[in-house]
Structure 1
Amino acid sequence: MRTLLAERERLLRLSLQDRKAAAGLVLVHAGAALAPAATALSTGWLVAALTGSASGREPGTAIVWPLVTMAALLAATEVLGALSGALEQFVAGRVDARVMREVRRLALAPADMAHLEEPAFADDASRASDSGGGRVRSPGTAAVGQLRLVFRMLGALGSAAVVAVLFSPPLAVFLLAAALVQRALIRRWWVGLAAVADAREDLRRRAEHWADVASTAPAAKEIRLFGLQDWVVRRRTREVLAWAGAIWERRRDILRQQWLTALLAAASAGAALLFPGLAAVHGTLPASDLVTVLVSAFALFSISSMGYEAFDIEYGLGAVRALDRLGARPVPPPGEPREMSAPAEIRLDGLAFRYPGTDRDVVAGVDLTIHPGEVLALVGRNGAGKTTLIRILAGLSLPTAGRVLVDGAPLGPGDLPAWRRRMAVVFQDFNRYPLSAADNIAMAAPEHRADLDGIRAAARRADIDGVIEALPDGYDTPLARDRTDGTDLSGGQWQRIAIARAIFAVEHGRDVLILDEPTAHLDVEAEAGFYRQVVAEVPGTTVLLISHRLSTVRNADRIVLLEGGRVAEQGSHASLLAEGGAYARLFRLQAARFTDMEATSG
């Protein structure tokens, strides 16, 4: 009970944060809460006027004011209903906007990004901003629903007071108790259903994923080309059934128990009709009071039903609890940043990393020094730990063991914001922003978006300027087909945009350039010119270059071969070939493939 009251108080505080809108909503709900009792009293007044006029005691004009009052109440009820809907939507939207900002803040608060890869965090982040498959299940709807419920309860108490004053306090207590018991039973059943739905949040996200695969453009090519339409639909159906099966079964259980609420409703209605009716028959209750009591009693029954606000509250509380779980996650204090030289010496000391829930180190005891201004290439087979290593270096993943040292001092959480502002990165899965071509290039140094000459220069260096200038609006063309006058680019062209983005950042002070498979989408000719056009043109910048194509890295100052998460070999291209180790075998294997292709074409 203490937890229940605390949660309800929390929702009320959420609904009242926007004071002006909340004040208007409180006034509207207060009017709606008074309406049932006022309607019952005016109805009794009308009956009294009618019965008095029929007996000749009062003129017929006596019914005018009761009729006017009832008409005014009916009109006010309609107006209040319309106002409450608009105000609730506004207040709920403001609450949800604040919650969304808080979710984003909590997602960005940790120095690393490991939490973003945890299913529990993904579930709670999704739930905290849940729009819930056909009905909104947000904190905002829960907050305004709780405020509405408070005034519904006050309205029920007002109707019970009318029954108690005009006829019988015991009957009023019985009717109110029966209505609240019905409500408690219904709430218990549907809260259990909401808990089942919340526990299956991961399954809902999986079902939505397959819905996206079935209906969105990115997957459309392969789905149609491979004839997978029916298979995808069956897979989505299976995932939906896996998610919804337990929910449907719980819903059937609830429906089978409805006899109990039906029995309570029948007993309440019978008591409300029988006892006042007998009193009226025996002349102890005037007809006008009888009508007032009956109208009040049946108005009181409305509290027993689970209106939409009850579902909004129960479902929305799940979102509030998810937000609380996100907020309860410990976030280490950032600490104080320190001064670092540019470019800096970077040293990896016994670095190890293991993904949560696994028993294998992806990076295992790496010791490596990266000298200022050096071009260092990382090579190795898939799964050797190359991309994980640069994520640790960028502070996106925190090492399980070991340290990253910059100029001899460990890189702490307080250093990461400034450290990242010194980096320009081209990841394998680089972002494709639905913005203009100019914005896409400037995103790595957004504070210099106004440098149009710099944007054009970076595009020339990445050899993408001709493609951009040929677009309908040049550098202002949106690179998204679903935008008005927008267009899309090929994979290789997008990669050149990402390279231009990194070049633009380097030209504006970033002195650590990380290139993760930067030529994966480029043709052989473009790959051959990549080192000359990009890497060799950033003197004084520390460059980390990852590539499976060893011809791309052969000119690096030093090449490091990773195997099993460890440094297996390192040296220049020539020295590694002379050693005749794993690097030499891989290079000769790739070179032989191109030699065979040339011999075949010749």
Structure 2
Amino acid sequence: MTSGEAVVLTFRESLALLRVASSAGRGMLALYVVLRAVSSLLPAAGAAAMAALVGAIGTDAPWTAFALFLACMVGTYVLDGLMAPLRVLVEARCTRAHRTRVARIACAPVTLDPLEDPEVQDLLHTASAFPRNWTEHTPGAGAVALIEQWVRWVGVAAAAAVLAVYVWWAAPLLIVAALVVRRVVRAQWLRQLAGWSDRAHHGRSAEYWREAATTPGTGKEVQVFGLAGWIRQRVQGAVHAQMDPVWEGSLRLQKLEVINFLIPAIPLSLVYAMAAREAAHDTEKIALLTGVIAAGWALYTAFGDVSGMFPLAGSRPALQALADLEKRLGGGPDVHAKKPFPAGSIELRGVRFAYPDAEREVLRGVDLAVAPGERVGLVGLNGAGKSTIIKILCGLYEPAKGQLVVGGEVVSAERRTAWRTRVAAVFQDFIRHPLSATENIQLGRPLDQTRREHVVRACEEAGLLPVLDRLPQGEDTVLTRSQEDGTDLSGGQWQQLALARALYAVAGGASLLVLDEPSAHLDVRTEKELFDRMAERPRDAAVLLVTHRLATVRSCDRILVLDDGRIAEEGSHDALMALDGLYAHMFRTQARRFAEGFRHIDEDEA
């Protein structure tokens, strides 16, 4: 990476930063630009006023020059106080708008495939623009730095004009010196940046082990296995591997500061010496000396300031990541979302599917249909493709071949988001939101959270009411121990809450209820009570039950047996047992293990 590539923005990148800047609001942005422009002019104006004041000493009217000089000093102080909070506000607004765009794009994909792509995940992480170290800056910081860089030219021009009045050749000389300093500092900083970037993986390693030691989920194993000392050594080793070269580079930079000082000091000293020589021979030219000193320093500081290059360079990765995301995931909202799907069966027709880079298809011509209100069980060995079928039915995956059809209408890409509003699901890795129990359940239909009776009914069907009654604030208890007065649920209780959330969605109009191992965390008694209640509830939605516990699918209207990417067997429990195929073999094997387990228990009790 060259210095020009890393710091000098392209025209497109400048436009992107201007777009970010515009999100601060026209009024606020205009106010900041005006104040920054005035602030850039004040050093040159102060230099001219100082020279005028010195020249007016001994005359009858020095007060006008003094008033101008005082106004410049007070103005500088006041503007600095005004711009500091205004800068923070502009930067925050710009960054918020950028992150809103990232969030909108992240929610745009109509399938789950892009979000499972590691490259997309890296782009989302980078585009979100949460600086983790000194090399990273938000797009808001970059936008403000770009504005300040452009406005600074006003100050450069003003200072050069004032200096040219006294010594015409001094301005070009100081500008060249400032350019050299900018070049040197930029090269030094880029070396540090390259060293940091090359060792960034050590920082990620240190952060991982630091979180492992302090996060409740992993902290218990750290304590049980006595890993604290070992993790401490890992963290220290990773930090030293990343930071030792950076610290050594920082020491070198401190030594090079002498060179950075001498580069402008030599031409400044030359200009000041010549001005002082003329003033020594002609006392009336003391005002010239004063003006040259003040204007020369104002010119150098205005042009030689390199602080803006850091946020400009540091904001580029987030901007580039956003542009890449827009190319890969960009898309508008589902314009057909409000058009309802016709009532009817939910079908997969000739569906084939393979994961990226996989040599073999997971699904190889699946045909199935679920009628309205029908309860269908889906079973099969691990890796048979059950989870893939679920995600296709939920509109999360797009089949390589074949179609998802609802009520005779093909669920196209344009209609996939609309279809998902008709689906409720309990996945194995359900989400545990740090919200109240009621809010957790109402997220099944986040746009319709006014029907409290639906929450109560869903909790009753999921067997969650006794659990909520024992909570400190009942259903309004926050379900996280990280908050005051909050609490947590057991794994089985969380699974009951996830089921209540899905049932709340069914009450809100979902026509397909997908249950993926809905009783995996439940004990045998709670599981039996759950499925007894599920069998008694109204058939207001088709139900697809995926489970390894074959006893739970006995009451389903139909059972589908998935094997080697195809529906190998289909029928009721009794019909499949009579067929004496794969399902019968799995059921007898599982029943025999349960029987052996209970026999051992009886023997121990005897």
Q: TM-score, normalised by structure 2?
A: 0.88
Choose from 27, 45, 55 the match for 1:20.
27
Q: Where does residue 505 of structure 1 map in the other structure? A: 505
Could you report, residue by residue, the CA deviation over 1:369-414 in whole angstroms, capped at 9, with x for unpaired residues?
3334332222233333221221122111222333323344432012
Structure 2: 5+ residue stretches without partners: none
Q: Which range moved further: 325-334 or 456-465?
A: 325-334
Q: Which residue of 1 aligns with 2:288?
A: 289
DSSP 3-state at the match of 1:286: helix
Residue aligned with 2:425, SS: strand
Describe the SS at the equivalent of 1:291. Answer: helix
1:40 aligned to 2:72? no
Q: Is the 8 A contact 1:434 1:479 kept in 2?
A: yes
Q: Contact conserved, 2:112 with 2:397, CA < 8 A, in 1? A: yes
Letter in 2 for 1:350: V
Matched residue pairs, number? 592
Is the alpha carbon distance of 1:179 and 1:201 closer, same or farther for their aligned partners in structure 2, counting shifts above 3 Å?
Answer: same
- Give the direction of change, closer, same or farther, for the CA distance of 1:238–1:262 in structure 2 (3 Å limit): same
Equivalences for residues 242-391 of structure 1 within 5 A: 261=260, 264-281=263-280, 283=282, 286-303=285-302, 305-329=304-328, 331=330, 336=336, 340-354=341-355, 356-391=356-391
- Is the contact made by 1:343 and 1:512 (CA closer than 8 Å) also made in structure 2? no
- Residue 176 (1) aligns with residue 182 (2): no
Deviation at 1:34, TM superposition (A): 1.1
Contact 1:187–1:306 (8 Å) recurs in 2: no
Question: How far apart are 1:164 and its partner, in Å?
Answer: 1.4
Distance (Å, rounded) in 1 between the aligned partners of 2:39 and 2:469: 63
CA distance in 1, matches of 2:167, 2:9: 37
Structure 1 residues not aligned, in runs of 5+? none
Q: What CA distance in whole angstroms lies between the structure 2 residues aligned with 1:519 and 1:238? A: 44
Distance in 2 (alpha carbons) for counterparts of 1:346 and 1:471: 42
Residue number in structure 2 paired with 1:400: 400
Match of 1:547 in 2: 547
Which amino acid in 2 is paired with 1:100?
A: R
Decide which of 5, 13, 17 is 1:11's aligned counterpart: 17
Once residues 53 and 175 of structure 2 are traced to their aligned partners in structure 1, the CA distance between those partners, rounded to angstroms, is 26
**2:555 is aligned with what amino acid?**
N
Identify the residue that residue 79 of structure 1 maps to in structure 2.
Answer: 78
Counterpart in the other structure of 1:580: 580
Q: Is contact 2:461–2:500 with CA below 8 Å preserved after alignment?
A: yes
1:522-561 equivalences in 2 (<5 Å): 522-561=522-561
* CA deviation after TM superposition for structure 1 residue 318, in Å: 2.3
Taking the aligned partners of 1:114 and 1:202, their CA distance within structure 2 comes to: 26
In structure 2, give the amino acid aligned to 1:132: P
1:561 is paired with a residue of what secondary structure?
strand
- Contact residue 276 and residue 285 of structure 1 kept, 8 A: no
Please name the residue that 2:116 is paired with. Answer: 117
- Give the aligned partner of residue 477 of structure 1: 477
> Per the alignment, do residues 369 and 254 of structure 1 end up closer, same or farther by CA in structure 2, a change over 3 Å counting?
farther
Letter in 1 for 2:446: P
- Give yes or no for the alignment of 1:88 onto 2:95: no
Which has the higher mean CA deviation after the structures are superposed, 585-594 or 242-251?
Answer: 242-251
Contact in 2 for aligned 1:347/1:408 (Cα 8 Å): no
CA gap of 1:315–1:332, structure 2 versus 1, over 3 A, is: closer
Structure-2 separation of matches of 1:308 and 1:467: 58
- Distance in 1 separating the partners of 2:195 and 2:455: 52
CA distance in 1, matches of 2:233, 2:588: 47
Distance 1:30 1:464, change over 3 A: same
Map of 1:145 onto structure 2: 145
**Is the Cα–Cα contact under 8 Å of residues 212 and 219 in structure 2 kept in the other structure?**
yes
Q: Out of 270-279 and 149-158, give the one that drifted further.
A: 270-279
The amino acid that maps onto 2:212 is: V
Q: Residues 141 and 428 of structure 1: is their aligned pair in 2 closer, same or farther, counting only changes over 3 Å?
A: same
Question: 1:458 Cα shift?
Answer: 1.3
Q: Label 1:229 to 1:553 Cα distance change in 2 as closer, same or farther (>3 A).
A: farther
Q: CA deviation at 1:5?
A: 3.7
CA distance in 2: counterparts of 1:49 and 1:128, whole angstroms: 57
Distance 1:340 1:122 in 2: 32
Q: Residue 435 of structure 2: SS of its match in structure 1? A: coil
Maintained 8 Å contact 1:462/1:499: yes
2: CA distance, partners of 1:79 / 1:68: 16
Tell me, in whole angstroms, the C-alpha distance in 1 between the residues paired with 2:439 and 2:171.
68
Identity %: 35
CA deviations over 1:464-493 (Å, ceiling 9, x no partner): 101212222222222222234222111111
Give distance in 2, aligned partners of 1:569 and 1:239: 54
Aligned residue for 1:567, secondary structure, equals strand
CA distance in 2, matches of 1:186, 1:535: 73
Q: What SS class does the counterpart of residue 534 from structure 1 fall into?
A: helix
For 2:47 and 2:197, the matched residues in 1 are separated by 42
Alignment check: 8 A CA contact 1:335 1:412 kept? no
Displacement of 1:172 in angstroms is 0.9
Q: Structure 2: which amino acid aligns with 1:173?
A: P
CA distance in 2, matches of 1:528, 1:193: 63
For structure 1, which segment, 552-561 or 485-494, has the greater mean C-alpha deviation from structure 2 after superposition?
552-561
Question: Which letter does structure 1 place at the counterpart of 2:324?
Answer: R
Shift of 1:522: 0.4
Cα distance per residue 1:576-598 (max 9 Å; x no partner):
33333333333223222221221
1:417 partner amino acid: T
Q: TM-score, normalised by structure 1?
A: 0.89
Q: Distance in 1 between matches of 2:242 and 2:481?
A: 34
